[in-house]
Structure formats: C-alpha cells, structure tokens
C-alpha cells in the first residue's frame, strides 16, 4: 500500500507545486499551477461537465435500478434478467463505448431506426454539443445499471417477510409499502450505492475518450479526469495535471463528507 498508494499520492501533491515535463529536474513554482487551473475556462468547463454527469447519472441510474429491482423481486425468471442487466458491467467499458459509438453515429442503428420508423431526421447525437454530454450520461447509466440492480435486489430480499405481511394486514398497498417500508429499510444500501456512484461519475474517462472522440465538440464532454490525462500525458505538463488531480481529490472529499453528514438524517439502520 505504501509503495503503490502513499508514495504516488505524496509525489502528486509535491509535483502540483512545481513544473516538470518528464525530463530534467522539477522546478518549484508554488501555487501557480492551482491559479492556472482555477482561471482556465477549459478546466472550469470540465468541472461543470463532471458535475452534470454526476447529477444526471446518479439519481436517474439509481432510481431506475431500484424500480427494476422491485419489478424483478417476485419473478421466478429474474436470474435470466439479472444476467442480461449484468452483462454490460463485466464487459470492457472501452468495448461498450465503441458499440454505442457505432449505434449513435449519423448512419448508426438508432438514427436509422428513427428515420425508418418515424420518418424524422435524427439529431447528431455525438456531434451536437447539447446532446453529446447526455449521450455520455446515457451510456454510463446503461453500463452501470446491472450492478446496482443486483445490489438493490439483495437489499429487498433482506427485508423480513413478516414486516411486509404486517403492512398488508394493516391495509398498505404495494405503492405504500414501497415508499414507507421498502425504501427506508434499504436506505443503507441506497446510501452506499450513492457514494460509490458519485465517486465513479467523478472518474468518468473511458466513455468520453472513446464515445465522443476526445472530449467531443467544443469540449462538450470534457471531464476532469480527461482534462488531467490531456494536460499531463499529451501536453507533458505534469505539474499542472497534478494540481488538477489534487483539486479533483478535494472536490470528491467535500462531496463525500457532505453525503456522510447527511447519513444520520437520511439513512435508517433499524430493521
């Protein structure tokens, strides 16, 4: 852990206060890299895009996963559906992005289907700055949904049947049981999945890199991790990239701490 985590972590922080192109000595420049990034409109755009991805993929993805898990809970053939939903999770994210890139092209399956079925001119899903980021969000939701469905289904199966039976005797219908019993009882599972999903959304890179060909039109899909890769490995500005990495770390820590602070009010650990 010291060799593979702590030492690289310490070196990243140290390098964020200097300038280095990969060759020669590191030159100390203080907080200049941080000032450069916080005043760079491209980096600020990447922060906004990253938060948009988080704000879209986390609630939509988790909400859809809970609904699907609830629908599968009573099905005898749910194992088959779980395999179908889980397949994208175990598939390489690069392969997933490449498949969706072909489907979302102007002459791809989705565009051709819209044109033939409804006679409309399909939009440029990946070339339109207004749609490219939403396409990234949709693919991210699709590729991660299977894992969340499995986790939520396990949480639902862990609810004691006696609790639901008592609610039925008291006249609670399926909708009432879902919101007043099931949701509170699986709130620890939802909380865990939310933290993991938020952190994962902040790390979005491969889908952007493959799906929209390097951050899309006008940096429409440029995320913080992609920005770090672009500045560090393409421009050889490792000090600037390190500063951007530290900023991403701080943002992730702050968001996670806010979630942990809300845990006492939102999470129920009593069965």
* Annotated domain spans of the chain: 42-221+256-266
Give per-residue pLDDT as tens, 104-132.
Answer: 888 888 888 888 888 777 888 888 888 99
Cβ neighbors of 153 (< 8 A, separation 6 or more) are: 69, 72, 73, 78, 82
How close are the terminal C-alpha atoms of the chain, in Å?
A: 37
The Cα–Cα gap between 222 and 45 comes to 7
> Of 150, 143, 145, 49, nearest to 96 (Cα)?
143
* Predicted model pTM: 0.91
Give per-residue pLDDT as tens, 17-41.
Answer: 988 777 777 888 889 999 999 999 9
The Cα–Cα gap between 172 and 160 comes to 16
CATH node for 42-221+256-266 = 1.10.3720.10
| pLDDT for residue 164 | 85
| pLDDT for residue 221 | 93
Task: Write the CA distances from 257 to 193, 252, 260, 261, integer angstroms.
Answer: 15, 9, 5, 6
| pLDDT for residue 198 | 97
Could you tell me if 69 and 147 are in contact, meaning their C-beta atoms sit under 8 angstroms apart?
no
Give per-residue pLDDT as tens, 187-213.
Answer: 999 999 999 999 999 999 999 999 988
Q: Which residues of the chain register pLDDT less than 70?
A: 1-3, 271
Task: Write the CA distances from 22 to 14, 47, 91, 224, integer angstroms.
Answer: 14, 26, 34, 21
């Amino acid at each position: 852990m010291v060799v593979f985590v702590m030492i690289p972590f310490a070196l990243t922080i140290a390098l964020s206060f200097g300038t280095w192109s990969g060759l020669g000595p590191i030159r100390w420049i203080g907080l200049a890299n941080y000032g450069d990034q916080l005043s760079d409109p491209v980096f600020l755009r990447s922060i906004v895009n990253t938060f948009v991805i988080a704000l879209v993929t986390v609630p939509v993805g988790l909400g859809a996963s809970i609904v699907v898990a609830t629908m599968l809970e009573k099905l005898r053939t749910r194992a088959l559906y779980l395999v179908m939903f889980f397949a994208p999770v175990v598939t390489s994210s690069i392969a997933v992005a490449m498949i969706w890139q072909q489907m979302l092209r102007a002459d791809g399956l989705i565009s051709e289907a819209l044109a033939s079925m409804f006679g409309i001119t399909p939009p440029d899903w990946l070339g339109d700055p207004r749609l490219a980021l939403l396409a990234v969000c949709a693919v991210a939701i699709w590729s991660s949904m299977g894992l969340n469905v499995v986790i939520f289904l396990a949480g639902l199966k862990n609810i004691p049947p006696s609790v639901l039976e008592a609610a039925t005797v008291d006249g609670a219908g399926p909708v009432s049981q879902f919101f007043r019993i099931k949701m509170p009882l699986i709130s620890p599972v939802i909380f865990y999945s939310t933290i993991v999903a938020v952190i994962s959304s902040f790390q979005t890179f491969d889908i952007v890199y493959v799906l929209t060909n390097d951050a899309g039109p006008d940096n429409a899909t440029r995320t913080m991790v992609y920005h770090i890769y672009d500045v560090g490995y393409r421009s050889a500005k490792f000090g600037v990239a390190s500063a951007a990495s530290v900023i991403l770390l701080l943002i992730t820590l702050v968001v996670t701490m806010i979630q942990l602070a809300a845990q006492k009010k939102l999470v129920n650990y009593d069965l």
